[in-house]
Amino acid sequence: MQPDTIRWPAPAKLNLFLYITGQRSDGYHELQTLFQFIDRCDYLNINANMSGNITISPAIPDVPLESNLIYKAAMLLKKHADCPLGAHIELEKNLPMGGGLGGGSSDAATTLIALNYHWDLNVSQQTLSELGKSLGADVPIFIHGKAAIAEGVGEKLNSVSPAQSHYLIAVPSCHISTPAVFKNPDLKRNSKKLSHQELMSNKWTNDCEPCVKKHYPEVANTIDWLLEYAPTQMTGTGACVFSTFSHANEAELLAQKTPEWLNCFTAEGLNISPLRELLTTKNQTNQFAL
Ligand SMILES: C[C@](O)(CO)[C@H](O)COP(=O)(O)OP(=O)(O)OC[C@H]1O[C@@H](n2ccc(N)nc2=O)[C@H](O)[C@@H]1O
Ligand SMILES: Nc1ncnc2c1ncn2[C@@H]1O[C@H](COP(=O)(O)OP(=O)(O)OP(=O)(O)O)[C@@H](O)[C@H]1O
């Protein structure tokens, strides 16, 4: 067991484009989407212990312990590796929930990677990714830790290096359920599957956006306001939207101009996730197996 306390980052992601190219017989949708990380993160301060229990503080409002993706990830790994150890996890929650930024999936991925280290398990990255997939479609990209085009239902990953732009990210006040968007009859499901070269050079859009804009005026108003100043689109199944800039000060200037009803923050795009950066640094000093 590694008894040191480490502050592990769990970054958010953006879907720089998202196309739905079909639907499988089990209801899941075939996607082509481009993931990039941003420098806004949750942080998990983890202390391994001998108790055999997983404790998390503070609790997330309205999310019981057994439903917390951190707890689920820890229990899944503990069971998989038949590990008798426990851990206390202190969560610094900075990412808006249910906004298409993938915070819950990222917390789960960070938990799997971190406990694999603290409990000395040596589970492979591939296996962590497979375990993670059962918790959420976005967990594998956070384990992968590099910007990538995802295909299949989101599990086939090919690393790419899009421009590391600066973003203004707006958080509309509505909550959007991912399953509800995927069930909506208005959703465009027939985008043509494109080559990676075509995907990277075409204008980037999100197939979920027209349907979400139609049903959620808060999202429509936010996009319409921001479009006056910069290219703007939705991430994932919403509700968050992002405007893209070449320079940080352009994003900052617009953030200062936004009306009171528009809740936003600025962030930088990252092709290597802060979690992967931490692993690389620790690897170089031979502290980690992964
Ligand atoms: C669309 C994305 O936001 C892109 O980043 C994600 O793939 C969604 O990931 P997530 O929120 O972790 O979603 P999950 O918890 O895996 O799936 C929620 C629900 O969305 C639907 N779903 C999800 C992913 C997918 N490729 N097709 C689907 O139809 C399914 O009904 C599923 O039950
Ligand atoms: N640790 C956690 N952090 C955030 N949400 C959690 C967590 N554990 C469970 N949840 C539940 O998962 C739901 C979705 O959370 P998340 O923030 O990942 O959504 P999202 O950003 O829309 O993700 P995606 O882009 O993958 O659809 C939350 O509304 C919450 O009920």
Structure tokens at 178: 């991912």
**Residue 19 pLDDT level (bands cut at 50, 70, 90):** very high
Q: Which DSSP letter does residue 46 get?
A: E
Q: What is the ipTM of this complex?
A: 0.94
CATH 3.30.470.20 fits 6-160+278-284, yes or no: no
Contact indicator for 70, 56 with CB cutoff of 8 Å: yes
68 CB less than 6 Å from ligand 2?
Answer: yes
The superfamily in CATH containing domain 166-270 is GHMP kinase, C-terminal domain (3.30.70.890)
Instruction: Judge whether 202 and 34 are in contact, CB under 8 Å.
Output: no
One fold for 6-160+278-284 and 166-270: no
Q: Is 102 annotated as a binding residue?
A: yes
Q: Is the pLDDT of residue 84 over 60?
A: yes
Confidence (pTM): 0.96
In the chain, what are the domain boundaries? Answer: 6-160+278-284, 166-270
Pocket test for ligand 1, best of 101, 130, 182 (most atoms within 8 A of CB): 182
- Cα separation values, 98 from 33, 79, 153, 250, 261, Å: 18, 28, 19, 27, 19
Among this protein's residues, is 72 annotated catalytic? no
Alpha carbon dihedral 78, 113, 68, 84, in 10-degree steps, equals 20
Is 13 in the active site?
yes
Q: Indicate if ligand 2 lies below 6 Å from the C-beta of 109.
A: no
Q: Which of 21, 25, 178 gets mutated to test ligand 1 (max ligand atoms within 8 A of its CB)?
A: 178
Catalytic residue among 42, 107, 138, 207: 138
> Mind listing the pLDDT tens digit for each residue in 199-241?
999 999 999 999 999 999 999 999 999 999 999 999 999 999 9
